Amino acid sequence: MKKEMEKHLFDGEDRTLEEAQTMIAHATANEQEILASYSRLTKEYQKLLRITKKAFYISDRQGKVLQRQQAEMQNLLDNANQGFLTFTRDLKVGRQYSQECVRIFGQKIAGLSITSLLTQENDTDKIKLEKILSQVFAESNALAESLLQQFPVRFRIKDRDIQVECKLLESEFGDEPLIMMILTDITEKLLAEKEIHYLSYHDKMTGVYNRAYVETVLPEVEGTQAMPISIVIIDMNGLKLVNDVFGHQQGDTLLIAIANIMKKCCRPTDIIARWGGDEFLIVLPQTSAAICQGICECIQTACAQTKDNPIKVSAAIGRTTKTRGTFRFPEMFSEAESMMYSDKLAKRAALHQGFISSLEGLLYSQCYENDGHGTRVEQLTSKFIAFLGVPLEQLQIETLLHLARLHDIGKVAINSDIWGRRGVLSDEEWDIVKNHSDVGYRLANSIGKTPLAEAILLHHEWWDGTGYPHGLHEEQIPLTVRIFSLIDMYDVLTHDRPYRSALGKQEALMEISSESGTHFDPTLTKKFLEFIAD
């Protein structure tokens, strides 16, 4: 439509020219006197019309280019994530150049006081800004630029951090100068910088400081009057065991638990840091040996009282205190670490027994394991060994007795819904179940019971090679495992399970007899049947 209007814009002038040319061509003899002058006038009109058309079309094209350029510039400004505005000495916004201004201030701002907008109507701050800007507009260009440097560079506007940059613009046409203000929302940038700074000096998982922070502040601690100063080294017990049995997520839960205990027992001035892996460091300025001991006892007591974890939180602790002289961190660290390792070694056996007891409790409470199964199998094993009269080494006997109680300990890492189900398991669920011997193997290895670990891993191997996990057959299967398999099966058959009721003694023996040579060692099976029947 617009192009059509432009096409007919000069239609009137064109008709006038055509009429004049027609009159000249058909002029009579009486009109010849004025013909020459009229003809010259017509030619000049034609020339002027041609120039006018040319000028119009050139101007029109330039106008369209300018409009396009303005639209592109506006689009760039609106997408620059910055607000642009100008104001003069009346301090009222003359024009906003981008939509970011509306987003920052929550409204259109043309005609509003720039000082009111920036200070959110805080009268004290508003007066300070007005004083600076009044001086800027009152001075010459060079001095005004210097005064403008006093203008604040950051404001808090509607819970957002806004960076402000001001530029003084001199008018080319003699008008009063303008100040252009560029506003940048730096809220996310500041939050990201804060997060980066936090992660640089904190352990992301536990929230305590990290090793880098300690190494940064140590020179300051060494240079202050921090005496007496104490250092505590804490190593969490059982982390590898929990990671191996329950997975690293549960291990992380324990690390968070012990970090929270340290936060609770320590003071705000103490520096708690995760030194690496399962080891923590506490630096306690102006702390005597007695106070340090009290904090360590608080940590130990809190660990013993923790609940809702696969095993109790436990820590080996070493500490040292320097009352005078020069604080030398490496020396104190070495002393505290040595004490921590001694504490860990002294409690190792008790800790392992504690872990086993905790896991046995889980086995009976969460895995539908028949309470008393382990004890019964252990007692029956002792009697059967005596009945066999086979010369077993002491280590084999100990392994058998431990196996009686811990053979199914790997079940604690498997969803209890699977163990309690009466229906048939899917192939995927059966694969999960079979994995419990591997979990038990890793657990026993974690507490240094290598022979027991091997026995736990292999206690589902069958005489004919159809068992798991390795498909061993006949005497490839250790003697201890072959003995245990018979006793375990007998107790399982003669006691209720979620998926079936208990069998009588004779029914159980018939079941075991039927699997001689397939599941069980034939020779041992014969001996076991005699033993039970005796």
Question: What burial letters (b/e) apply to 461-474, b meaning 16+ CB within 10 Å?
Answer: bbbeeebbeeebee
Torsion sign (Cα): 113, 119, 120, 124: negative
Give me the DSSP letters along 424-442.
Answer: PPPHHHHHHHHTHHHHHHH
Asked if residue 198 is part of any domain, the answer here is no
In a 3-state reduction of DSSP, which class is residue 10?
Answer: coil
Tokens of 478: 């250790």
- Is 13 buried (19+), middle (13-18) or exposed (0-12) by CB count in 10 A? middle
Q: How many residues does the chain have?
A: 534
Q: Which of 465, 359, 350 is nearest to 410 (CA)?
A: 359
Q: Which of 297, 318, 346 is at the close of a domain?
A: 346
Query: In this structure, are 222 and 137 located in the same domain?
Result: no
Q: What is the pLDDT of residue 470?
A: 92
**pLDDT tens over the chain, length 534 residues:** 445 544 555 566 666 666 666 766 666 655 555 565 566 666 666 776 677 767 666 666 666 655 665 555 555 555 667 888 889 999 999 888 888 888 899 999 999 999 999 998 788 999 999 999 999 988 877 788 888 888 999 999 989 999 999 998 876 555 678 898 989 999 999 999 999 999 999 999 999 999 999 999 988 877 666 789 999 999 998 888 788 777 888 889 999 999 999 999 999 999 999 998 899 999 999 999 999 999 999 999 999 888 766 677 889 999 999 988 778 889 999 999 999 999 988 888 777 777 777 777 777 666 555 567 778 888 888 898 888 887 888 888 888 888 888 888 887 777 766 665 666 777 787 777 778 888 888 888 877 788 888 998 999 999 999 998 999 999 999 999 999 999 989 888 888 776 677 888 899 889 999 999 999 999 999 999 998 887
Query: In this structure, are 328 and 366 located in the same domain?
Result: no
Q: Which of 364, 361, 452, 373 is nearest to 405 (CA)?
A: 373
Contact criterion met (CB below 8 Å) for 144 and 48: no
Query: In this structure, are 223 and 332 located in the same domain?
Result: yes
- Is 440 buried (19+), middle (13-18) or exposed (0-12) by CB count in 10 A? buried
Residues 6+ apart with CB under 8 A from 115: 91, 126, 129, 130, 133
Q: What is the pLDDT of residue 432?
A: 76
Contact criterion met (CB below 8 Å) for 320 and 233: no
Q: Which of 346, 361, 383 is at the close of a domain?
A: 346
Q: What is the pLDDT of residue 406?
A: 81
Phi, psi of 322 (to 5 degrees): -115, 125
Question: What burial letters (b/e) apply to 246-274, b meaning 16+ CB within 10 Å?
Answer: beeebbebbbebbbbbbeebbeeebbbbb
Listing from the earlier edge strand, what are the strands of the sheet with 229-236?
A: 209-210, 271-276, 279-284, 229-236, 315-322
Contact criterion met (CB below 8 Å) for 97 and 84: yes
Query: In this structure, are 185 and 216 located in the same domain?
Result: no
Q: What is the pLDDT of residue 44?
A: 66
Count how many domains the chain has: 4
In a 3-state reduction of DSSP, which class is residue 229?
Answer: strand
Tokens of 277: 């892996």
Asked if residue 199 is part of any domain, the answer here is no
Contact criterion met (CB below 8 Å) for 183 and 82: yes
Q: What is the pLDDT of residue 268?
A: 93
Here the CATH number for the domain that contains residue 327 is 3.30.70.270
Asked if residue 224 is part of any domain, the answer here is yes
d(CA 152, CA 210): 36
Asked if residue 412 is part of any domain, the answer here is yes
> Distances from the Cα of 262 to the Cαs of 56, 230, 266, 311, in angstroms?
83, 15, 6, 18
Q: What is the pLDDT of residue 49?
A: 65
Query: In this structure, are 363 and 503 located in the same domain?
Result: yes
Residue 69 domain boundaries: 2-77
d(CA 412, CA 246): 8
Q: How many C-beta atoms lie closer than 10 Å to residue 50's C-beta?
A: 11
The region that residue 256 occupies, defined by phi over 0 for left and psi between -120 and 50 for alpha, beta otherwise, is alpha
Query: In this structure, are 314 and 396 located in the same domain?
Result: no
Here the CATH number for the domain that contains residue 503 is 1.10.3210.10
Here the CATH number for the domain that contains residue 172 is 3.30.450.20
Q: What is the pLDDT of residue 442?
A: 85
Query: In this structure, are 443 and 381 located in the same domain?
Result: yes
Torsion sign (Cα): 441, 445, 447, 452: positive
Q: What is the pLDDT of residue 341?
A: 92
